[in-house]
Amino acid sequence: MDNTIVVIDHRRNDFEKRVRIANDNNDNNPVHSPMDKYLTLPTPKDKCVATYVWIDGTGEYLRSKETTLNHIPIKPKDKFEHIMDKIEEKIRQETFESMSYSQQNKYLPPYYCPRNLENTYKIECKLRRTRNRDSFDENLKDLPILSFDGKASGLTKRNSSDMYLIPRAIYGDPFKRGNNILVMCDTYTHRMEPTRTNHRYKCAATYNKCREHEPWFGVEQEFYILNPTDSRPAGWPKCGFPRLSHQSYCGLGANKVVGRELVEAHYRCCLHAGIPMWGTNPELVPSQWEYQVGPSVGIDAGDDVWMSRYILNILGEKFGVVISFDPKPVANWVSSGAHINFSTLATRGVNGISAIQRGIKRLAAFHERHIQVYDPRGGLDNKKRLTADTGLTSAIDKFTAGIADRLVSVRIPRMVAEDKCGFLEDRRPASNSDPYRVINALMSTVILNE
C-alpha cells in the first residue's frame, strides 16, 4: 500500500462525466438520450414485456432474457398475496356480499377484493410486512416456462443443452416501467431436475418446514463500483491508493464518496420494483457501498436480494461502470460482505435473547459447514476476506460471538441485548454468496437443529 495518496484523483476516472451524461436533461425536450426515444414508445395496452432473470453456472452471476406476454399480470403491490387466507371464510363472504354488483363482477375469485386492500383490510394487510407472500403466487401460474441454452450459461457441457426457467417471483420493472415486469426464476434440466446452481428449491423445502417459526431476514449487501477499463475502483487514482482513514464511511464530499448518484438510482429502482429496501450508506473506502434489503420473510429474502443485484448491474451498464460483488476486489484492501440479520418468532418474543443464545451455540457447532456455503467457492473467497489481521473481520477458522462487536462471526446488536429480544447478525457470508444457500443454512441450523 505504498504511494498512498491523501485525496482522490480529481479525474475520478471519468465517473462524474458519465453521471453528467446520464443526467443531462433538457427541460424543453422530453427525450434525453438516444435510447429514451425508443423506450418512451407506447406499447399495446394488452401486452407487457417480462424479463426473466436467473443464476448461471457460476452460482454468483445472473443472466436475463425477455418475452412478450399477451396479458397483464397483477403487479406485486396490487396482487392478492394470500392475505385472504388469513381471514375467516365468513368475513370474506360478508365483504363480498357488501360490494356493489359491478365490484363483485370485477373482482371475482381469487381477486374479488378491492385493489386497495389497505382500505378494506387494514389489519390484515399489515401481514405483508411480517408474513411470507408464499412460495405459490397467483400470478405465476399464468407465466410461461421458457427454455434457454444451459451450455452457454455454464450449466452443462452437453451439446443437447436445452434447460428451463420456472418463474418464482414477480417484480415491477423500473426500467421499462408501465405494465412490464421482472421475473426471478430458478433453473431446471431437460428432465425437470434442479440444476447444480439451483439452490432455491432446497431453500423452499426448508422454509416450508420452518414456516410456523416465521423466520425474518435482512441482508446488508456490500459492493464496489469499478472502472470498466482497468477494473480499479471508480474515483481511485491511477497510481497509488486513497488514504484508508474511514472518512468515507457514511461520509460526505467528493474527496470521500464516489457513486452516490448510482446508489440513489438503485434505491429508488428497487422500491419501484417492490423490493423492501431498508437503507443504504457509503462504506469504508471510496466507491464501496452497502444497501440493506428487508425485512423479508423466508425464501422471499433470497428472491429480493438476487433481484436487487440484477437491478444494480443494469444500472451499472447505464452509468458505464462495473458492479463488483467480489469479496476482495483489491488485494490488501477492505473486503465486502453480505451480513445477514436473522430472527424468528421466538427470538422476537419475550426473553427472546435466550433463543438467540441457543441459536448462536448451534451456529458455533456447525461453523465449518456454514463457511462452505457462505461463498460460491466453498470457502475460498472468504479465506481471502475473513483474515482477522485487517482489524475489520473475524477469522475464518474460529467461531466467535459477542455483543456490539463487529469483529466476531455472529454479533448481537447492543439494542437487542438491552431489549432482550430481536435478532442476531451473521457477519460471515461473503458479498457474492447465494442468499438461498445462506438462508437455508440458517434455518436448518438454528430452527431445525440439523
CATH number at residue 182: 3.10.20.70
Q: Are residues 168 and 226 in the same domain?
A: no
pLDDT-derived band at 46, boundaries 50, 70, 90: confident
Q: Is residue 19 part of a domain?
A: no
Q: Are residues 125 and 140 in the same domain?
A: no
Going by their DSSP bridges, the two strands 410-412 and 401-403 should be labelled as: parallel
Q: Is residue 32 part of a domain?
A: no
pLDDT-derived band at 240, boundaries 50, 70, 90: confident
Return the ∠ at Cα 359 (arms to 356 and 364), rounded to 5°.
Answer: 125
Burial of 322 (0-12, 13-18, 19+ CB in 10 A): middle
pLDDT single digits (tens) 47-84? 999 999 999 999 999 999 999 999 888 655 433 344 33
Q: Are residues 300 and 256 in the same domain?
A: yes
Q: Is residue 248 part of a domain?
A: yes
Element (H, E) at 311: helix 300-319
pLDDT of residue 377: 94
Task: Report whether pLDDT(178) > 80.
Answer: yes
Q: Are residues 315 and 340 in the same domain?
A: yes
pLDDT single digits (tens) 287-311? 999 999 988 999 999 999 999 999 9
pLDDT of residue 142: 83
Q: Are residues 189 and 252 in the same domain?
A: no
Lowest mean pLDDT among 128-137, 179-188, 352-361: 128-137
Domain end: 179, 198, 217, which one? 198
Q: Is residue 4 part of a domain?
A: no
Q: Are residues 397 and 306 in the same domain?
A: yes
pLDDT single digits (tens) 123-159? 333 333 333 344 345 678 789 999 999 999 999 888 8
Q: Is residue 392 part of a domain?
A: yes
Q: Are residues 253 and 372 in the same domain?
A: yes
Higher pLDDT, 330 or 267: 267
CATH number at residue 212: 3.30.590.10
| Domain assignment of residue 419, given as a range | 206-447
Question: In sequence order, which residues have a C-beta less than 8 Å from that of residue 104 and are 6 or more positions away?
Answer: 96, 112
Cis peptide before 295 (omega within 30 of 0): yes
Q: Are residues 192 and 340 in the same domain?
A: no
Q: Are residues 343 and 368 in the same domain?
A: yes
Domain end: 198, 215, 248, which one? 198
Domain end: 155, 181, 198, which one? 198
Task: Report whether pLDDT(40) > 90.
Answer: no
The chain-wide mean pLDDT, for the chain, equals: 82
The percentage of the chain sitting over the pLDDT mark of 70, rounded to a whole number, equals 77
Q: Is residue 20 part of a domain?
A: no
Going by their DSSP bridges, the two strands 62-69 and 288-297 should be labelled as: unpaired
Q: Are residues 87 and 175 in the same domain?
A: no
Q: What is the rounded CA–CA span in Å between residue 280 and residue 291?
A: 4
Q: What is the rounded CA–CA span in Å between residue 431 and residue 223?
A: 7
Number of domains the chain is built from: 3
Task: Report whether pLDDT(274) > 70.
Answer: yes
Say if residues 383 and 390 touch (Cβ distance below 8 Å). Answer: no
Lowest mean pLDDT among 241-250, 274-283, 284-293, 360-369: 241-250
Q: What is the rounded CA–CA span in Å between residue 199 and residue 409?
A: 24
Q: Is residue 406 part of a domain?
A: yes
pLDDT of residue 95: 62
Q: Are residues 249 and 306 in the same domain?
A: yes
Q: Are residues 191 and 229 in the same domain?
A: no
pLDDT of residue 101: 55
Q: Is residue 2 part of a domain?
A: no
Lowest mean pLDDT among 62-76, 331-345, 360-374, 418-432: 62-76
pLDDT of residue 186: 94
